[in-house]
Amino acid sequence: MTTKLFGEPVQRREDARLVTGQGHYLDDFGPGALAAAFVRSPHAHARITDIDVSAALDVEGLVAVYTWEDLPGALAEPLPLLIPHPALTHGRTAYPLARDIVRHVGEPVVMVVAEDRYLAEDACALIEVEYEFLKPVVGVEEAVQGAHLVHEDVPGNVGAHLVQEVPSREGRSAADAIDAAPHRLEFRLDIERSASMPLEGRGVYARWDAGDGSLRVYSSTQTSTSVRMAVAAKLGLPLPKVEVIAPDVGGGFGVKIVHPWPEEILVPWAARTLGREVKWTEDRREHFVSSAHERAQVQHVRVGFDDEGRVLGLDVTILHDHGAYTPYGIIVPIITSTQLLGPYKIGAYRVEFSSIYTNTVQVTPYRGAGRPQAVFCMERTLDRVAAYLGKDRTEVRAANFIGPDEFPYDQGLIFQDGRPLVYDSGNYPESLRMLKEMVGWDSFPEMKARAAAEGRRIGIGIGCYVEGTGVGPYEGGHVQVTSDGRVHVSTGLTSQGQGHETVFAQIAATELGVPIERVSVVTGDTRRFGYAVGTFASRAAVMSGNAIALACRKVREKALRIAADALEADPRDLEITDGIVHVAGTPSASIPLATVAVLSNPLRYAFDEEAKRATQFSGTSAMDRPPVDEGEEPGLEGRDYYSPIRSTFASGMHAAIVETDPETAEITILRYAVVHDCGKLINPMIVEGQIHGGVAQGVGGALYEKMVYDEHGQLLNASFMDFLMPYATEVPRIETAHLETPSPLNPLGIKGAGEAGVIPVSAVIASAIEDAEGIPIDRMPISPSDLYTLRLRLAG
Amino acid sequence: MSEETTRYLVTLVVNGVVREAAVPARRLLSDFLRHDLGLTGTHVGCEHGVCGACTVLLDGEPVRSCLTFAVTVDGHEVTTVEGLAGDNELSPVQRAFTECHGLQCGFCTPGFLCAVTAFLRDNPAPTEEEALEAVSGNLCRCTGYQNIIKAVHRAAEIQAETQGRPEDRGGRA
pLDDT tens column, B143-165: 999 999 999 999 999 999 987 55
**Closest chain A CA to residue B150:** A733
Share of chain A above pLDDT 70, in %: 100
Taking an 8 Å cut-off on Cβ atoms, the answer to whether A728 and B148 are in contact is yes
Annotation: CATH topology of B92-168? DNA polymerase; domain 1 (1.10.150)
Share of chain A above pLDDT 90, in %: 94
Contacting residues of B for A735, CB less than 8 Å apart = none
Choosing among B105, B113, B153, which should be mutated to test the A contact, i.e. which has the most A CBs within 10 A? B105
Q: How many CB atoms lie within 10 A of CB A788?
A: 16
* Contact call for residues A378 and A156 (beta carbons, < 8 A): no
Three-state secondary-structure class, residue A111:
strand
Per-residue pLDDT at A169 exceeds 80: yes
Per-residue pLDDT at A338 exceeds 80: yes
* Contact call for residues A763 and A376 (beta carbons, < 8 A): yes
Choosing among B67, B146, B154, which should be mutated to test the A contact, i.e. which has the most A CBs within 10 A? B146
Nearest Cα of chain B lies from the Cα of A53 at a distance, in angstroms, of: 19
Residue B172's pLDDT band (cuts 50, 70, 90): very low
Per-residue pLDDT at B77 exceeds 90: yes
pLDDT in tens, A572-616: 999 999 999 999 988 789 999 999 999 999 998 888 888 888 888
Choosing among A199, A202, A253, A284, which should be mutated to test the B contact, i.e. which has the most B CBs within 10 A? A199
User: What is the side-by-side strand order in the sheet with A278-281?
Assistant: A62-66, A108-114, A34-40, A278-281, A203-209, A214-219, A242-245
**For chain A, what is the mean pLDDT?**
96
Nearest Cα of chain A lies from the Cα of B4 at a distance, in angstroms, of: 8
* Contact call for residues B19 and B34 (beta carbons, < 8 A): no
Taking an 8 Å cut-off on Cβ atoms, the answer to whether A284 and B26 are in contact is no
Per-residue pLDDT at B17 exceeds 80: yes
Nearest Cα of chain B lies from the Cα of A696 at a distance, in angstroms, of: 5
Contacting residues of B for A757, CB less than 8 Å apart = 144
By C-alpha distance, which of A617, A620, A587, A591 is closest to A604?
A617
Tell me how many helices (H) and strands (E) chain B has.
5, 5
**Closest chain A CA to residue B148:** A728
Q: What CA dihedral angle connects A68, A73, A78 and A80, to 10 degrees?
A: -140
* Contact call for residues B172 and B109 (beta carbons, < 8 A): no
Taking an 8 Å cut-off on Cβ atoms, the answer to whether A696 and B149 are in contact is no
Averaged over A192-215, what is the pLDDT? 97
Measure the CA–CA gap between B115 and B97, rounded to whole angstroms: 13
* A496 vs A4 pLDDT, higher one: A496
Per-residue pLDDT at B1 exceeds 70: no
* Contact call for residues A683 and A461 (beta carbons, < 8 A): no
**Closest chain A CA to residue B93:** A19
> Same topology for domains A297-471+645-795 and A473-600+635-642, yes or no?
yes
pLDDT in tens, B93-131: 999 999 999 999 999 999 999 999 999 999 999 999 999
Nearest to A696 among B39, B145, B149 (CB): B145
Q: Give the model's pLDDT for residue B168.
A: 46
Q: Give the model's pLDDT for residue B11.
A: 97
CATH 3.30.365.10 fits A297-471+645-795, yes or no: yes
Per-residue pLDDT at A564 exceeds 50: yes
Per-residue pLDDT at A26 exceeds 80: yes
Q: Tell me, what DSSP letter sits at residue A137?
A: -
Q: Give the model's pLDDT for residue A454.
A: 97
Contacting residues of B for A499, CB less than 8 Å apart = 104
Could you give the residue range(s) of every CATH 1.10.150.120 domain in chain B? 92-168
Taking an 8 Å cut-off on Cβ atoms, the answer to whether B50 and A31 are in contact is no
Q: Give the model's pLDDT for residue A793.
A: 93
Taking an 8 Å cut-off on Cβ atoms, the answer to whether A497 and B142 are in contact is yes
* Contact call for residues A690 and A757 (beta carbons, < 8 A): yes
Amino acid at B10: V
Q: Give the model's pLDDT for residue A189.
A: 98
Domain ranges of chain A: 32-134+196-290, 297-471+645-795, 473-600+635-642
Amino acid at A746: N
Q: Give the model's pLDDT for residue A712.
A: 98
Choosing among A10, A15, A19, A758, which should be mutated to test the B contact, i.e. which has the most B CBs within 10 A? A19
Taking an 8 Å cut-off on Cβ atoms, the answer to whether B105 and A496 are in contact is yes
Nearest to A251 among B1, B97, B142 (CB): B142
Identify any residues that bridge with A164 across adjacent strands, giving them in sequence order. A351
CA B89, distance to chain mean position in Å, is: 17
Amino acid at A496: Q
Taking an 8 Å cut-off on Cβ atoms, the answer to whether B48 and A496 are in contact is no
What is the gyration radius of the CA atoms in chain B, in angstroms?
Answer: 16
Q: Give the model's pLDDT for residue B173.
A: 37
Q: Tell me, what DSSP letter sits at residue A581?
A: E
CB pairs under 8 A between A and B: 177
Per-residue pLDDT at A436 exceeds 60: yes
Residue A485's pLDDT band (cuts 50, 70, 90): very high
Q: Give the model's pLDDT for residue B169.
A: 45
Measure the CA–CA gap between B23 and B10, rounded to whole angstroms: 7
Taking an 8 Å cut-off on Cβ atoms, the answer to whether A720 and B46 are in contact is yes
Taking an 8 Å cut-off on Cβ atoms, the answer to whether B141 and A693 are in contact is yes
Averaged over A691-696, what is the pLDDT? 98
Q: Give the model's pLDDT for residue A612.
A: 85
* A605 vs A226 pLDDT, higher one: A226
Contacting residues of B for A696, CB less than 8 Å apart = 141, 143-145
Taking an 8 Å cut-off on Cβ atoms, the answer to whether A15 and B98 are in contact is yes
Contacting residues of B for A31, CB less than 8 Å apart = 35, 38
By C-alpha distance, which of A290, A431, A429 is closest to A362?
A290
CA A156, distance to chain mean position in Å, is: 31
Q: What CA dihedral angle connects A676, A677, A678 and A682, to 10 degrees?
A: 80
Averaged over A215-233, what is the pLDDT? 98
Measure the CA–CA gap between A469 and A481, rounded to whole angstroms: 31
Measure the CA–CA gap between A672 and A653, rounded to whole angstroms: 11
Annotation: CATH topology of B7-82? Ubiquitin-like (UB roll) (3.10.20)
CATH 3.90.1170.50 fits A32-134+196-290, yes or no: yes
Taking an 8 Å cut-off on Cβ atoms, the answer to whether B106 and A197 are in contact is no
Q: Give the model's pLDDT for residue A237.
A: 98
Nearest Cα of chain A lies from the Cα of B75 at a distance, in angstroms, of: 24
**Closest chain A CA to residue B105:** A497
pLDDT in tens, A107-149: 999 999 999 999 999 999 999 999 999 999 999 999 999 999 9
Annotation: CATH topology of A473-600+635-642? Aldehyde Oxidoreductase; domain 4 (3.30.365)
Q: CA geometry: angle at A201 spanning A522 and A127, to 5°?
A: 130
Could you give the residue range(s) of every CATH 3.10.20.30 domain in chain B? 7-82
- Interface confidence (ipTM) of the complex: 0.96
Per-residue pLDDT at A700 exceeds 80: yes
Q: Give the model's pLDDT for residue B164.
A: 57
Averaged over A208-227, what is the pLDDT? 98
Q: Give the model's pLDDT for residue B2.
A: 73
Contacting residues of A for B152, CB less than 8 Å apart = none
Taking an 8 Å cut-off on Cβ atoms, the answer to whether B143 and A689 are in contact is yes
Asked if omega into A78 is within 30° of 0 (cis), the reply is no
Q: Tell me, what DSSP letter sits at residue B96?
A: H
Q: How many CB atoms lie within 10 A of CB A47?
A: 14
* Contact call for residues A505 and A519 (beta carbons, < 8 A): yes
Nearest Cα of chain B lies from the Cα of A349 at a distance, in angstroms, of: 36
Choosing among B91, B142, B150, which should be mutated to test the A contact, i.e. which has the most A CBs within 10 A? B142
Q: Dihedrals φ, ψ of A749, to 5°? A: 70, 25
Containing H/E element for A353?
strand A348-357
Measure the CA–CA gap between B66 and B49, rounded to whole angstroms: 6
